[in-house]
Amino acid sequence: MKKQLFSLALLLSLGTSFAGSSFAASTAVVGQEQRQDREHDKDKDHKRGQRGAQNKQRHLDQLAKDLDLSSKDKGKVEKIFQEQQQQMQALRSRSGADRSQAMAERKRIQESTNKKLKDVLSKKQYAQYEAKRQERQRQMADRQNDRRGNDQRNNFRRDSSRRS
Render pLDDT for 29-85 as a digit per residue (tens, 0 to 9). 566 677 677 776 666 666 666 777 788 889 888 988 999 999 999 999 999 999 999
Per-residue model confidence (pLDDT) at position 47: 62
Per-residue model confidence (pLDDT) at position 72: 94
pLDDT category at 10 given cuts 50, 70, 90 is low
Q: Could you tell me if residue 64 is left (phi over 0), alpha (psi between -120 and 50 degrees) or otherwise beta?
A: alpha
DSSP letter for 96, please.
T
pLDDT category at 147 given cuts 50, 70, 90 is confident
CA angle 131, 137, 142 (to 5 degrees): 125
SS3 content of the chain, % helix, strand, coil (to 5): 95, 0, 5
| Strand residue runs (E) in the chain | none
60 Cβ partners below 8 Å, 6+ apart?
Answer: 74, 77, 78, 81
Are the C-beta atoms of residues 26 and 36 closer than 8 Å to each other? no
Render pLDDT for 95-108 as a digit per residue (tens, 0 to 9). 676 888 889 999 99
SS3 assignment, position 97: coil
Q: Which of 17-31, 82-96, 118-132 has the highest mean pLDDT?
A: 118-132
Of 137 and 160, the structure prediction assigns the larger pLDDT to 137
84 Cβ partners below 8 Å, 6+ apart?
Answer: 109, 110, 112, 113
Of 52 and 20, the structure prediction assigns the larger pLDDT to 52
